[in-house]
Amino acid sequence: MPYDEQPLRPLDQTEESLVRALAHVMMALPRLVDADMVGDGGLPLSEYTPLMFLSEAPHRRMRMSELATACNLSLSGMTRVVNRLEKQGFVQRAKCQEDLRGWNAVLTDEGLARLQEAWPAHLTSIRRHVLDNLAGHDLAALTAALERVATTP
C-alpha cells in the first residue's frame, strides 16, 4: 500500500512536541544567528550564506539559479542579495561560458576577506544556539536523521 494510502495515525504527544519544536527552530534559529552576526560582525546571515557557498564552489563561482537553490531563495530574492553584495565589492557577475543566457555570481577577494572576517561571529552563534544545546547527543545520528528528513520526497 503506497504511503499516502496508509491509514492516518495521529501524532502522539512526543511526536507532536518534536514537530512543533522543529518548526520553532526552523523559524527562530536564522533570526537568532542573524542578530548575533549583525551585532558582532555587521554581516547579515542573508549575505554570509551566499558568500559561504561561493567560497566552497569551484573557482568561487556558481550560477545564480544554483546559488538561489543553495540559499533556499527565489531567483529574484537571490538577485537582490547579489546586487547588495556586488555594490559592496564582495561579488561580481559574469556570463556563464556554458550557457551565455545565464549568469554566474563570483566571489571576489574582498568578498572572501569579508567572509573570513565574519566567520568567528557565525561560529560563535552556531555553537551557542545549536551545538551547546546538543552536547551529549549523538550528532552523527542526528545529522543522518535530519538529512533523511530533508531528502525524503
- Model pLDDT for residues 13-71, shown as the tens digit of each residue: 999 999 999 999 999 999 999 999 999 878 999 999 999 999 999 999 999 999 999 99
**How much is the pLDDT for 103?**
93
Task: Decide which of 3.90.1560.10, 1.10.10.10, 1.10.1740.10, 2.30.30.240 is the CATH code for 28-132.
Answer: 1.10.10.10
Domain spans of the chain, in order of start: 28-132
**Residue 152 is placed in which grid cell?**
525524503
DSSP the chain: --GGGSPP----HHHHHHHHHHHHHHHHHHHHHHHHHHHHTS--HHHHHHHHHHHHSGGGEEEHHHHHHHTT--HHHHHHHHHHHHHTTSEEEEE-SS-TTSEEEEE-HHHHHHHHHHHHHHHHHHHHHTGGGGTTS-HHHHHHHHHHHHH--
What type of residue sits at position 73?
L
Taking the alpha carbons at both ends of the chain, their separation in whole angstroms is 17
- Model pLDDT for residues 118-141, shown as the tens digit of each residue: 999 999 999 999 999 999 999 999
**How much is the pLDDT for 2?**
62
**How much is the pLDDT for 116?**
96
Round to whole Å and give the CA distance between 57 and 67: 10
The mean per-residue pLDDT over the stretch 81-90 comes to 97
pTM for this predicted structure = 0.87
**Residue 72 is placed in which grid cell?**
533556499
pLDDT at residue 117 is higher than 60: yes
